Chains A and B, each alone.
Chain A
Amino acid sequence: MMDPTFAWQPVVAVFVSAVAAILLSLTGEKRRNLRDSWTILAALIKFGAVFSMVPGVLAGETFEATLVEISPGIEFALRVDAAGILFAMSASFLWILTSFYAFGYMRGGNEVKQTRFFAMLATCLSATIGLCFSANLFTFVVFYEILSIATYPLVTHSGSDKAYAMGRQYLIYAITAGMALVAGMALVWQAAGTLEFQPGGFLDADMGTGMLWAIFLCFAIGFGVKAGVMPLHSWLPNAMIAPTPVSALLHAVAVVKAGVFGFVRLTGYTFGPELMGAIGAAAALAAFAGATILLASFIALTKDDLKARLAYSTVGHLSYIVLGIALLTPQAMLGGAYHMVTHAAMKITLFFCAGAIYVHTGKKKISQLDGIGRQMPLTLAAFTVGAVGLVGVPTVGGFISKWYLAAGAVDAGQLIFLGVFLVSGLLNAAYLLPIATRAFLRTSEDHPVRNEASPLMVVPIAVTMLLALMLGLHPDGIFQFFSIAELIVSDVTGTTFGEGGTP
């Protein structure tokens, strides 16, 4: 069964945190330092395994591991390519930081049921890396469903009535999405007889436009829910009732980007950009994504709750990526792919800050934050960097991705979407920057002395802020995210990029 090319790295990267979930459940609350060290150990091994494959992937190697035949003719198999490793790198790196942050947050807030919390978080990470490295649609859907279910106990973590109500809503969305995916997958199998991802896609126009549209609709619902594309987004702001480390890692990075990553696999590796364009599915997707960007930004303006505002900002930014993919031009795709990483770094910084403020001062509302910059200057400085980056100011990563997105919109001749990107940049400024000015420029008696939250929280905040800066100043720095993003686009479209990302 095991062929000589069987690669262990993806297997380790996917399953190490599932093993950790079992170990830490058995260890339990009474020995919580031992329990929490399982998390850290798994996070480090996971990131190490993913990182070890980066040079190989950039050199054109693929790492494959076929585990078991799961349905006649369909294998449960892992394959590492550029798209997978981009998402896996950002998710696994941020998990290390989130783990430390979560120790600070959960212990600082004296949260209950911490063992279940960390076990489910580790399970979610297994599922996330699993879907990054899925070689075919079936494997992808299996991990996607596991991710949906494992997130549920995290959403309802607080155990309040409201948390259960939100959890119910979350489940209805997630299970509907999952069933739509399974239905779509059955249609793909019926039409194509294979589910194997291929760069450039494996469906073709002979299958009939009706069938292709049915497939597209199933997947658009399945992925659109997680990616928060309107009108399927309303679970996401409500899911913010989860503890902040969950909002930060899952509802800004892992879970929601799993939906976005689904669109990458759908457009680039299932339909192929040409077919998506030819049947008009890309245009429809672009229209929904464009509308989502603007509407979400407007709604964000109206929110006084900090996490709610950030949640709507996430809804908008996820659609940046979806729109980048749907525009189908190489530069737009490059921008979209890179935005997966830069948005992750910037948004997780903002959520970390929001959580640190809440645990340290108990404040949740933006209107209460006057002068808080005096008390927690480092935290709020990091917040400002993240906010500026989301607006798209150079030196922070968000500028680079937005630049390519805008250039891609021009390439596609879709100036309306260029307008969308520019207007939403302004709206981003309007809803994020006032928080920073309020914190630093206004004064309040609430915050007389300087004292930051626990170092367990402040250090991760500083690291994610530095990552956001590094992505802007040196896009191809140690993790080579930009080269990986370029490689995705050349895999999918066949375009090769010259110096500085020009096709």
Chain B
Amino acid sequence: MSQIPALIPTSLLLFALVSLLVGLRSARGAQLLAVAGMLFAFGVSALGLREVAFGGDTLRYAVGNWLPPIGIEFVFDSLAAYMTTLLTFTGAVVTVYAPKALAAETDGRQGMVYPSMLLVLAGLTGMCVTGDIFNLYVFLEVAALAAYALLALGERGAPVATLRYLLFGAVGGGFYLLGVAYLYFAAGTLNMAELATLLPELQESRAVIVAAVLMVLGLAIKMALFPMHFWLPDVYTNTASVPAALIAPIMTKVSAYAIIRLWLDVFPPGFFTEGVPIAAAIGWFSAAGILYGSVLAIAQHDYRRMLAYSSVGQLGYIGLGIGLANPIAMVGALLHIVNHAFMKGLLFMVGGVIKLRTGRTRIPEFVGIGRAMPWTMVAFTIGALAMVGIPPTAGFFSKWYLLLGSAEAGAWVWFAVIVASSLLSAIYFFRVIEMIYRDPERDSAVKDREPVEADGAPVSMAVPIGIMAGGIMVAGIFNVLIVRALLESVVAPLAGGG
């Protein structure tokens, strides 16, 4: 038995509690504790990742020493290690970034923000390490409740948008829980490993089929899979920069992770592809979502709203990888979880810097920012190119694996969607790049707009942004290391044509 699986969510919970107490007195102290907590959890994840990737063992922990199937089990395998390392890394980076943006955009409540951030991370990492489908629901709601609190910060519209998210999130959670109940009545256990051995005999059972559909549907709402994305754009647009930079990169991905986990490790091989075509349905909705999100992103003038619609499209890539149901496409989907976290995190953090220094959020008002903050805009450009999918940035490789997967599956419509979407994202990102580098003194089209006079990003914001930009390059060039060390074993169950 290893302590690592349990240590990640519990340490985050503990740090949340302590930073809450400290946060009543000092926002600075709460932030330092939050950074420490995130870094601690990241360190534990990284240690565990090393053991899983190079030792080849899955780490298990039985809560309260009650062995499964009676007790709850935490399981730390390649997929869990991959996810928790990403989550805690992103969390740490955003927590370092947070103070200046929070001070500018919120008033008097900053000490309370950090405990919420830690709670979100505790919930999300818990979802990744748990080996129990009901416990997953509990962590899902922990993360969701803390996220609602965070997202309600920000502009006037934020609370209303978040309330809408809360309502739909509750519906999603409800569907999932209903599915869990069906499964429990059919199989008599909530433990994932146990279910995996029992379900092959029950796969004709209606209860099991209904359970699968309900659970996936619930998670799809949480994941903002098109057309269940409608809560997302308003939330990301109105909330403050810090919650956006924390939630947008990781939260929806963990629901996607849960779908992948159910498919690969709970339900029998082939269950999602034959019989009830759950995978194919996710794939088609995703393909539609990619086009819908990209087209709407082109129509936006608000930077954050553009990013929000772009997220709807980008989540479609993960869904397409699930829909294609072959190993290489699934590798693409899993890589995209990390790549998109880096890209979106970077882009929202840049948005926060622009808002802090200039107060602007509308793209047509970005004239001349390239000159005012050149290095931040270099980072932005790297992020934008990655979103378009220009090699050798990370964003290229997820698309590349998805293309290979589509070619292998003969899914030519999806193949065309992936190709077309790059062109669409090029349109909306190069529009921003063009505006940033326009020179109002020499350019009659923007002459009447006031050029930006502003300082560059403060160090506490520039360093996290630089780390994300570096991460995009490193995760691109060295993607094969990730694929070989972790992802190949994750997608192995699909190799048999299942």
Contact = CB atoms under 8 A, between A and B. Distances in A.
Partners in one complex: yes
Interface string A153-164: 100101111001
Given A149-B385, A159-B442, A179 B419 contact: yes
B392 interface: yes
B22 interface: no
A186 B403 contact: yes
B439 A171 contact: no
Contacts of B430: 168, 171
B135 interface: no
A171 B426 contact: yes
B407 A186 contact: yes
B488 to A, nearest CB: 8
A71 to B, nearest CB: 6
A71 B403 contact: no
A159 B443 contact: yes
Interface residues of A, number: 34
A171 B444 CA distance: 22
A214 B183 CA distance: 47
Interface string A176-190: 101110110011011
Given A159-B443, A183-B415, A68 B400 contact: no
Contact of B423 (A70, A71, A146, A175): A175
A145 interface: yes
B443 A161 contact: yes
Interface in B415-460: 415, 419, 422-423, 426, 430, 434, 437-439, 442-445
Contacts of A186: 400, 403-404, 406-407, 415
A64 to B, nearest CB: 19
B357 to A, nearest CB: 21
Main secondary structure of the interface of A (DSSP, over half): helix
- The contact size tier of chain B is 35 or more
A182 B438 contact: no
Contacts, number: 85
B480 interface: yes
Contacts of B437: 153, 156
B407 A190 contact: yes
Contact of B391 (A141, A159, A164, A180): A141
A193 to B, nearest CB: 11
A72 interface: yes
A131 to B, nearest CB: 12
Contact of A182 (B385, B419, B445, B479): B419
Contacts of B407: 186-187, 189-190
B478 A68 contact: yes
A473 interface: no
A159 B423 contact: no
A183 B392 contact: no
B388 interface: yes
Nearest to B406: A186
A290 B397 CA distance: 37
A153 B438 CA distance: 11
Contact of B422 (A70, A149, A179): A179
25 contacts: A68-B477, A68-B480, A70-B480, A71-B397, A71-B400, A72-B480, A141-B391, A145-B391, A146-B390, A146-B391, A149-B385, A149-B390, A164-B438, A164-B443, A164-B445, A168-B434, A171-B430, A175-B423, A178-B390, A182-B389, A182-B399, A183-B403, A189-B404, A190-B404, A190-B407
Given A71-B479, A72-B483, A167-B434, 6 more contacts: A76-B477, A146-B390, A149-B385, A161-B443, A168-B434, A179-B422
**10 nearest A-B residue pairs (beta carbon):** A190-B407, A186-B403, A142-B391, A159-B439, A159-B442, A69-B480, A175-B426, A161-B445, A179-B419, A186-B407
